[in-house]
Amino acid sequence: MRLLLVEDHVPLADELMDALKRQGYAVDWLADGRDAAHQGASEPYDLIILDLGLPGKPGLEVLRDWRADGLVTPVLILTARGSWAERIEGLKVGADDYLTKPFHPEELQLRIQALLRRARGLANQPQLEAAGLQLDESRQCVSRNGEVIELTSAEFRLLRYFMLHAGQLLSKSHLAEHLYDGESERDSNVIEVHVNHLRRKLGRSVIETRRGQGYRFTGDAG
């Protein structure tokens, strides 16, 4: 999953970037509201974390513009402590959730996971599940019938994307856009390698190849 972090306080941004990358997210970071307004609307993010007090353009205006343009990406706003007015304004212009600074990193992690599941219509799942597989996002492993299967970080990131889009046909370029940040080189052949590793661990038919079109996660253990 690919996230945009908009935060002008550099020490906090650094800390969040490290934490989010450890959690297997591809993250782009911006500190300026104008840049965020443009990039948030033009790149295919799965979720946006938006500070409200920003140089260039206030976060609330950025969010209002995105929603007016029809952007449906989940947005979690970061607000100052005690500022209930900011939180209310944020929710009114289309924020999906908010966190008040300072916050515990684990709370951000859990809210992000919940927002991503909700955006895919999986709000009922406390833990990501598809076709008999349960994904443990904190340990970055998967289990089937109680058997734990260890994953590399790249396999975990790919499997999480597949499980959030079970049954959907996903091209290699689409997967690359959602698994790598804007600075990484996107080599879709690498995706093929990780798909094969996942098949070896989870069963051949767990991911179907459609020639010239891409992949489809079936979760089928066959």
The stretch near Ca ion (CB under 5 A) out of 8-16, 128-136, 170-178, 209-217 is 8-16
Total length of the chain: 222
Q: Which of 217, 189, 154, 186 is nearest to 43 (CA)?
A: 186
Closer residue to Ca ion in complex, CB, 53/56: 53
The stretch near Ca ion (CB under 5 A) out of 49-57, 96-104, 111-119, 170-178 is 49-57
Task: Report helix, strand or coil for 105.
Answer: helix
Residues numbered 147-206 forming contacts with Ca ion, rule: CB under 5 A? none
Task: Show the tokens assigned to 22.
Answer: 């450890």
Residue 183's CB is within 10 A of a number of other CB atoms, namely 8
The stretch near Ca ion (CB under 5 A) out of 19-27, 37-45, 47-55, 83-91 is 47-55
Question: For Ca ion, what does the binding mask look like between residues 50 and 79, x meaning CB under 5 A?
Answer: -x-x--------------------------
Task: Report helix, strand or coil for 208.
Answer: strand
Contact at 8 Å (CB) between 40 and 71?
yes
Q: Which of 158, 98, 163 is nearest to 133 (CA)?
A: 163
The stretch near Ca ion (CB under 5 A) out of 4-12, 93-101, 109-117, 184-192 is 4-12
Closer residue to Ca ion in complex, CB, 53/182: 53
Question: For Ca ion, what does the binding mask look like between residues 114 and 133, x meaning CB under 5 A?
Answer: --------------------
- Nearest distance from residue 116's CB to Ca ion, in Å? 24
Q: Under the criterion CB under 5 A, does residue 8 sit at the interface with Ca ion? A: yes
Strand-pairing partners, residue 2, are 26
Task: Show the tokens assigned to 215.
Answer: 């992949």
Task: Report helix, strand or coil for 65.
Answer: helix
The β-bridge relationship of strands 129-130 and 133-136 is: antiparallel
Closer residue to Ca ion in complex, CB, 5/158: 5
Closer residue to Ca ion in complex, CB, 51/137: 51
**Residue ranges that bind Ca ion, judged by CB under 5 A:** 8, 51, 53
